[in-house]
A and B are shown apart, each in its own frame.
Chain A
Amino acid sequence: MQLKSKNKPAKDVGLALAAATCTLLGGVAQAEKGDPGTWSFDAAFLYYSEDNSRVQAAEPVLSATRYFDTDKTLNLKVVLDSLTGASPSGATPSDGVQTYTRPSGKGEYTIQPGTVALDDTFHDGRTALSASWNSTLNREWSYSAALYGSAEHDYSSLGLSSSVSRYFNQKNTQLNLGLSFSADTVKPEGGLPVGFSRHALQAMGDFDAQYAASRNGDSDSKTIVDVLIGFSQVINKRTIMQFNYSISNSSGYLTDPYKILSVINDDDQDVDYGRNAVDANGLSEYVYEERPDKRTKQALYWQTKTMVGEDNVVDASYRFMTDDWGIQSHTFDFKYRWQFAKSYLEPHLRYYMQGEADFYYRYLTASQFDAQFDQLDAASADYRLGDLDTITVGFKYGRTLHNDKELTVRAEYYMQSSSGENGIGALAQQDLYLDTNALMFTLGYSL
């Protein structure tokens, strides 16, 4: 097997840009090329660990690229994902002990006062396979086509995408058009919960009937169509820039089947004002979330790379996203690569901020419950749909080994900070917006 050279310049910047600009479902085709008839392999292992014993994940990746003719490549990639722990259920902390039913309906778990509800037995695995083909048609056109499939025990996805690129101005300008289609199936443990239905508790005398009443079928589906229009422009000998506009339309079952909302006593004359609303048997009331069945997102993306000094590279990008759920977000990303003789060091800073969705509620009230939520079409307490700021700081170190193999080590710290309105009454004493910090460690190896 002939190894590709990491220091070899790409023969065709245009093709490299095409591969970089139109990615497949979050993955990206290889940007550089080797000699025809050769393979190259890249492997990585990600370890992700949140504090407070929440989500822990391990994710190995293997990518193989076959170089056919001068401008044709086939990339195959497999990703395995193993995780334990879940994100918070959405229920609010309380000054009393709280008990919840596991999603499967079998068993329950108890949360101590002042603690966010987490089902700590949650575990999942994901296997994802993708194949992408990149080729030039002639001096002015290139295209790519890709297939994607992934499976989890309660979720599966099939996707295909394609993009075409047209070069102008001696390949200093490149226009890209990409289309992607994904068909996903959700098959939650315990079946599909009915939105706004009551979360059945094991202590209920008629638990089985209550649980069955909160379910409607076993599985549902959603489709996602993405369109991406972009162009890249060589500015000068040291700077390149790209702009993308993308629109993404999701339809179908967009609800998170494992998320619930607490129902809070909003009678300010009651001694339990701000505590969990309870039924006649003294059992707390929680209901399943419900999201709209359509979502349209639009994003603008700008990226610039420029070389400074001898061989150092500045990589800066900004993304603006807005959708019809009322969410807007801004993402700033900055990397600076210090190049040394056989190695490099790359500090990284990322800042992300989003505003809450129109239907984000940290909790619902007993009044709304009694009115059977007739004023609400959708509601979710998922913190990922609330006001959220995140910061990622870290660095990457890369070193070229003998025979042009490259080893990279990356360590990053990810900080999430949620915010929102304080609760009413007794709820105001609780920390409703728990911050999360995570360590991300990635080991990469290319040959």
Chain B
Amino acid sequence: MPETPIKMIRRPLLLIFCLCLLPSCSNLGVKPHQRGTLAKESMQLVSDPIEVGLDDHIYFSKEATSGGRGFGGGGCGCN
């Protein structure tokens, strides 16, 4: 029997909830003056947006999965 939408998202939501508790750990994070390393371009979560865009397009057209990091979206016939 196919899973209902609620059942499908139950586990991901539970995981998200647990992950959301993480920030409450008081020992996480830094003071503003300690951000020197994190502010470097190489430490940005996406340090090369064009490269990410090209990769997303390739894998969108070759695999059944897209998105996750950002939106999966459409935009390509990709036959």
> Is this pair of chains taken from one and the same complex?
yes
Near B by CB (< 8 A), chain A positions 296-351 give: 296-301, 303, 305, 307, 311, 313, 317, 319, 321-324, 327, 329, 331, 337, 339, 344
Contact B46 A79 (CB under 8 A): no
Contact B64 A246 (CB under 8 A): no
B20 within 8 A of A: yes
Contact A28 B62 (CB under 8 A): no
Complexed CA–CA distance, A388 and B46 (Å): 27
Residues in B with CB closer than 8 Å to A23 are 46, 52, 69-71
Contact B53 A27 (CB under 8 A): yes
A: interface residue count bin: 35 or more
Fill in one digit per residue for A257-272: 1 if any B CB lies within 8 Å of its CB, else 0: 1110000000000000
Complexed CA–CA distance, A357 and B65 (Å): 12
Q: A159-B74, A224-B72 are in contact. Are A26 and B8 (CB under 8 A)?
A: no
B50 within 8 A of A: yes
Contact A182 B39 (CB under 8 A): no
Contact A42 B57 (CB under 8 A): no
Near A by CB (< 8 A), chain B positions 37-63 give: 37-54, 56-60, 62-63
Shortest Cβ distance from residue A292 to the other chain B in the assembled complex, whole angstroms: 11
Near B by CB (< 8 A), chain A positions 376-402 give: 384-385, 388, 390, 396
B: interface residue count bin: 35 or more
Contact of A319 among B15, B35, B54, B65 (CB under 8 A): B65
Contact A20 B54 (CB under 8 A): no
Shortest Cβ distance from residue A257 to the other chain B in the assembled complex, whole angstroms: 8
Complexed CA–CA distance, A339 and B60 (Å): 30
Complexed CA–CA distance, A159 and B73 (Å): 8
The prevalent SS among residues of A at the interface is strand
B32's nearest neighbour on chain A, judged by CB, is A170
Residues in B with CB closer than 8 Å to A232 are 45
A444's nearest neighbour on chain B, judged by CB, is B50
Contact B52 A337 (CB under 8 A): no
Residues in A with CB closer than 8 Å to B5 are 296
Contact B70 A26 (CB under 8 A): yes
Contact B51 A26 (CB under 8 A): no
Contact A25 B73 (CB under 8 A): yes
Contact of A46 among B23, B38, B54 (CB under 8 A): B54
Complexed CA–CA distance, A245 and B64 (Å): 18
Contact B54 A240 (CB under 8 A): no
Contact A28 B67 (CB under 8 A): no
Contact B67 A299 (CB under 8 A): yes
Contact A86 B32 (CB under 8 A): no
Interface residues, chain A, with chain B CB atoms under 8 Å away:
6-7, 9-11, 13, 16-17, 19-32, 42, 44, 46, 48, 59, 61, 63, 77, 79, 81, 86-87, 122, 124, 126, 128, 148, 150, 152, 154-155, 157, 159, 161, 168-173, 178, 180, 182, 184, 186, 222, 224, 226, 228-229, 231-238, 240, 242-248, 250, 256-259, 296-301, 303, 305, 307, 311, 313, 317, 319, 321-324, 327, 329, 331, 337, 339, 344, 352, 354, 357, 384-385, 388, 390, 396, 408, 410, 414, 416, 440, 442, 444
Interface residues, chain B, with chain A CB atoms under 8 Å away:
2-3, 5, 8-9, 12-13, 15-16, 19-20, 22-23, 28-32, 34-54, 56-60, 62-77, 79
